[in-house]
Amino acid sequence: MWNPFKKKEPEVIFVAPTSYEFVPEGAIKKPKRDDNWRQGMWVVCDMTPAILHKLYEYSGEVHYVDPETGQTVMEKIVALNELRQATWSEIPSVRRQFDREVARGLGYGD
Amino acid sequence: MAISVPDVGENLILEMIVNKTAAQNLVLKLYSNNITPAESDTAGTYTESTFTGYSAATLTGASWGAASGGSIAYAQQTFTCSGAGSENCYGYFVIQTTSGTLVYSERGTGVPFVITTVGDNVKVTPTITAS
């Protein structure tokens, strides 16, 4: 007989496995541009160190980096004219894994 | 997202082209720290995943497909979780097996992918395109 006050049986929740796939788009290429912007470049945006992660025609996706941990804290799309290349000392030391001479050759001044 | 080749990787590739440095098998690893690849990176930048069931994948030279149209690819690699837990996956990085030098890396889109359940998996099809 149906009893509306009967305690409901606990539901068993099955968590299905999930999957993440990196879609191959990999390319060893730097966008051909007239300027010096390039993917993976250290920049300064809003006075914060960031990495230029994606390049579009007039804008870029920058990933702000925590200076202490070197990890990403925020992502934002900004106009390229809001960016400038970082100097050597502006690259978080925890991520500064090339020497000063090499950095200078890549445009990271003092 | 395109792969990112750091300065150390670019130099290594140049030295391999002219036979100054011998090529080695590559090792594909997932990483769990929130890193956006930068040209200043080395292998030490990345924290390798440790979830249950995870092990890095060696990409044997002879098992790569033939290069065609400026591109070369390897069979899809699947990293599957075999024990419950919780770990973030942000991307993968590829190093040389002996030298340990970082060759390239890629951060996923919409990461982190959180690995919690038995059967959760991450698939990577190593592909390199020169253009």
Give the mutation candidate from B11, B40, B72 for the A interface (greatest A CB count, under 10 A). Answer: B40
How does residue A1 score in pLDDT terms, banded at 50, 70 and 90?
Answer: low
Higher pLDDT, A3 or A62: A62
Q: For residue B115, give the chain A residue with the closest CA.
A: A18
**Residue B120 near residue B80 (C-beta atoms within 8 A):** yes
Cα gap A103→A72, rounded to integer Å? 21
| pLDDT for A5 | 58
CA distance B13 to chain A (A): 11
Residue A7 scores a pLDDT above 80 = no
The SS3 call for residue B17 is helix
Supply the pTM of this predicted model.
0.88
Cα gap A61→B112, rounded to integer Å? 17
CA distance B45 to chain A (A): 7
A54 contacts in B (CB within 8 Å)?
A: 1
| pLDDT for B28 | 98
Length of chain B: 131
Share of chain A above pLDDT 90, in %: 63
B124 contacts in A (CB within 8 Å)?
A: 21-22
Classify strands B26-31 and A19-22 as parallel, antiparallel or unpaired.
unpaired
**Residue B59 near residue B106 (C-beta atoms within 8 A):** no
Per-residue exposure over A78-98, b if at least 16 CB sit within 10 Å of its own CB, e if not: bebeebebbebebbbeebbbb
Residue B99 scores a pLDDT above 70 = yes
Average pLDDT, chain A: 85
**Residue A48 near residue A66 (C-beta atoms within 8 A):** no
Q: Which two tokens stand for residue A1?
A: 């007989």
B121-124 β-sheet, strand order? A19-22, B121-124, B77-80
| pLDDT for A3 | 59
Q: How far is CA B81 from the centre of its chain?
A: 18
Are B45 and A20 an interchain contact pair (Cβ–Cβ within 8 Å)?
Answer: no
| pLDDT for A16 | 77
Q: What residues have CB less than 8 Å from A32, skipping those under 6 apart?
A: none
| pLDDT for A21 | 87
CA distance B21 to chain A (A): 19
Residue B90 scores a pLDDT above 80 = yes
pLDDT per position as a tens digit, A24-70: 665 555 555 556 899 999 999 999 999 999 999 899 999 999 999 99
Q: What residues have CB less than 8 Å from B2, skipping those under 6 apart?
A: A25, A26, A27, A29, A39, B106
pLDDT per position as a tens digit, B33-46: 999 999 999 999 99
